[in-house]
A = this chain, B = another copy of it.
Amino acid sequence: MYSLNYLIGMSAIAAFAMAGVLAAARKDMDLVSLTFLGVVTAVGGGTLRDLLMNTEVFWVVDFNYVWIAIGASISAFYLERHLRDESVWALILYLDAFGIALFGVQAIDKALLLNFSAPVAVVMATLTGIGGGLIRDVLAQRPNLLLSREIYATTIIAGSIFYIALLGLSGKSAWVTLAGVAFTFLFRSLAIYRHWRMPKWMILRSNLNG
């Protein structure tokens, strides 16, 4: 079970890194920069989480996460044209969805284990999911998640609350973990598949800032 978890975590890191490279890639960028951005996308959120919880940064302890991210980034760099093939790109999007679902549950487990409160755990899950992409977009000078109407952070927040509620109701078990991951993954997958956007009453309509 441990090694399956580990393997799944590594797949999610690889998906994060690949999606990161593809999102940031622009003509004339070089392999070193793009690999750096891929790795930042993959491990940036978890790094932020660990810094905020004042605990050891996960990839500093187990560098395999970075190796996988480097490998995935270099692969994405050279396979770029093929990865933009529609079905491959879709696969990466859903792997990314799986990644935020899995990392969300892991972040909550880690936060609760360190005796932080449930709301803090939800924040940590959210930052783990969105942090890497935000840092990448800032460094690559492209519009980020916060400026789009996509439903991303919301799925992590909802899934985290659901998972913590389950934990409270029935205690920790493989089924509860599975349900927690499944909730976020399905919510985010539906948002991708159906092109869900934020509802109108949650959108700012005035334009006073220009």
Contact = CB atoms under 8 A, between A and B. Distances in A.
Interface of A: 25-34, 36-37, 47, 51-57, 60, 63, 66-67, 77, 80-81, 84, 116-117, 119-120, 123, 134, 138-141, 143-147, 149, 153-154, 157, 198, 202-210
Contacts of A30: 149, 198, 202-204
A32 B202 contact: yes
A138 to B, nearest CB: 6
Given A54-B57, A63-B120, A203 B29 contact: yes
A36 B157 CA distance: 12
Given A153-B36, A209-B26, A198 B146 contact: no
A198 B120 contact: no
Nearest to A134: B139
Nearest to A119: B63
Contact of A143 (B119, B138, B141, B205): B141
A32 B154 contact: yes
A198 B134 contact: no
Contacts of A27: 204-207, 209
Contacts of A52: 47, 51, 57, 60
Nearest to A83: B208
